[in-house]
Structure 1
């Protein structure tokens, strides 16, 4: 975005301004702070590009560096190769192979790596010309449409890798939730279970908590109160 994203951003801003009849500032004109010209004698483009956009990018990068480890950032960058937006513009064969070598070396054999390299050579051209993938916007949508179109059978190694990437939300659940789940599952009466069985229970428990939270968020409080009121006479009304 810092190096080559400015022109595309300006084009989108100009299109937005034209659509809603908004005056677009002249990027080559001197930047004015309030009603007076800026003492630094810079243009509007310099102000919005260097002092606003680049500063915001630096702030976001600093926040990412403080929140994620280098391994997590590398994983996010490499897994972004499956981003289907802009007609799979981000897809790169080398990123796909590096993703496997770096994070899933025990899940793929040497033969799988050879097959993966072959699949990457045909995957992009095949998906881009298929209208069923035209409006795909997320990796989960890509995975679902691969199954619906039965292309998961033509690209089984890529499909398996995408499924592994989609397990990230479960494997990176918040530390607080994980610790509390561990205390509930492996208590004093069940402190000798095997690690493999314990891992399976952890995944099931966290998934259960996530599903229950989504269900609870979908319930309207007013409907619960109304149902409770009509269930019997009350001393006071809730609404």
Structure 2
């Protein structure tokens, strides 16, 4: 219930901002939300006990949302709702913020031929590991993408028309110091010379 109310509030705030922007753009006077609501269809002498903000948010916006939810509930039975809720949990938007293992398990129970009691326990463990791995991947992907872009950028300078026949091993040896300049900047020439001198002769 709290989650539904939170989504309503988010929807109300965005709608209110759009309406206010529209009114300002077309020079339409904005109502004073703190004033008592005046119903034009009733006597002006009758004072209401709620504000204009309460009227538009609760009596209009919330009521329409509730009607829409009721319409959806009337069109979809419990099984269909469980299926839709389970599928919605796999939405990757906002780093899988809608991911809910219990709802996915409820969806899996709709397919008893594929998920017996043992497979349900296996699925639950897999889902726990899945969301952990996905979140780790989401955190690492921007870094990995940036590293790949730097590597391709470096390749254009190192393997040019004059040096296009170098073997992969030599190319790797050239690209790593070029890409990781900050690391190799702290390594002295003497240290590099000593390292190569310490290697066995080929």
Q: Please, what TM-score do these two structures have when normalized by structure 1? A: 0.43
Larger relative contact order, structure 1 or 2 (CA cutoff 8 Å, min sep 6) = 1
Bigger radius of gyration among the two: 2
Q: Please, what TM-score do these two structures have when normalized by structure 2? A: 0.50
